[in-house]
Amino acid sequence: MKVYVRAPYPENRLKELEEMFDDLFYDPWTKTGERFYEDEMLEKLLSEKPDVLITELDRITEKVLTGYNGLKIIGDCRSNPANIDVSACSKHNIPILCTPGRNSTAVAEYVVGILLMKYRHLDKSIDWVKDGEWKEGTTPYYTWMGDEISNKKVGLVGFGAVGREIAKRLDVFGAEVSFYDPYVEKCGKYIKKDLTHIFKDSDIISLHLPVNSETTNMIDKDLLDLIKPKSVLINSARSKVVNNDDLMKLIEDKDVEVILDVLPEEPPKRSDIEFLKNKNVTLTPHIAGATYQVTNHQAEILNESIKKYYKNENLEKIVYNKEIL
């Protein structure tokens, strides 16, 4: 059997694949910095004739699967296979194995890091020093006095792998962590609340939801209006879980710190950037999950899932398109 690897993979994880398969072709998208769209993907599959495809960005469509019928498994190095036509894979009876939790540590560290930056004014105070403003007679101790995370009420919307990693870290800081997740009943000492109380009670609200029919535009005016002044709202999940018009209204009308790592359109239009230059808005370019270590995490998760699939173990847990089981 042959595996075609289009995702970046560390050497030790490639060796694991070499032990699992007769033939391996490693051609990560990072060589060129470009994904394959359906015509290029189909051409490569017809040329290499793999049994298993490991991808991350390439477009897998009905045209690809109709044109090449040799795939037995598709591994996608993402928590959600946004690059793949899931219904087409199910139609062709091809299981999709994803890598949930691959960037949970990275996103958790991003959230904690950016909270520290904002609460302690680290970015502004660094620029202040670089701009030569630290002069005789200034009082930076008072000018840049900030807040502690300790004793802040934190509400996590979504309590999967990312939410739990954030909870562990903020717990160490002495924050009071609560969560909303209809699929989680209890989790240690963390307090489960409904959405209304998460938004009404919390000093920090951090969103960690997948995009689906239940969550699209779930965070709307009714919830955003409940946020206390001076609170912090972070979205490092997906833009579609928040009603963007309602979010813009919140930014315009209320003194709330909004931290966004995701936008409705990426890269954003100039008009969006101008509006989001509001002093209470912090934008980062979709980098919350971007660490070098994520490559190893996703390869480790996917290799284990492939092993389990061939052993017929935990299929309900590891196969994304469960309708084929």
Close Cβ partners of 121 (under 8 Å, ≥ 6 residues apart): 144, 146
Active-site choice (35, 92, 197, 286): 286
Which stretches of the chain are DSSP H helices? 11-20, 38-48, 62-67, 86-91, 104-119, 122-130, 140-143, 161-172, 195-201, 221-224, 244-253, 270-275, 292-310, 315-318
Q: Which amino acid is residue 72, in one-letter code?
A: K
Active-site choice (238, 257, 265, 297): 238
How far apart are the two ends of the chain, measured CA to CA in Å? 22
Residue 92 known to be catalytic: no
Report how far residue 5's alpha carbon sits from residue 31's, in angstroms, rounded to the nearest whole number: 12
Nearest to 95 by CA among 318, 291, 270, 276: 318
What's 5's DSSP letter? Answer: E
Determine contact, residues 106/112, Cβ cutoff 8 Å: no
161-172 helix and 104-119 helix, angle to the nearest 10 degrees: 40
Which tokens go with 304? 């284990």
Determine contact, residues 267/292, Cβ cutoff 8 Å: no
Residue 286 known to be catalytic: yes
Which tokens go with 80? 């959600």
Active-site choice (136, 266, 270, 316): 266
Determine contact, residues 266/244, Cβ cutoff 8 Å: no
Nearest to 6 by CA among 43, 49, 35, 39: 35
Residue 266 known to be catalytic: yes
Report how far residue 303's alpha carbon sits from residue 292's, in angstroms, rounded to the nearest whole number: 18
122-130 helix and 104-119 helix, angle to the nearest 10 degrees: 60
Catalytic residue numbers read: 238, 266, 286
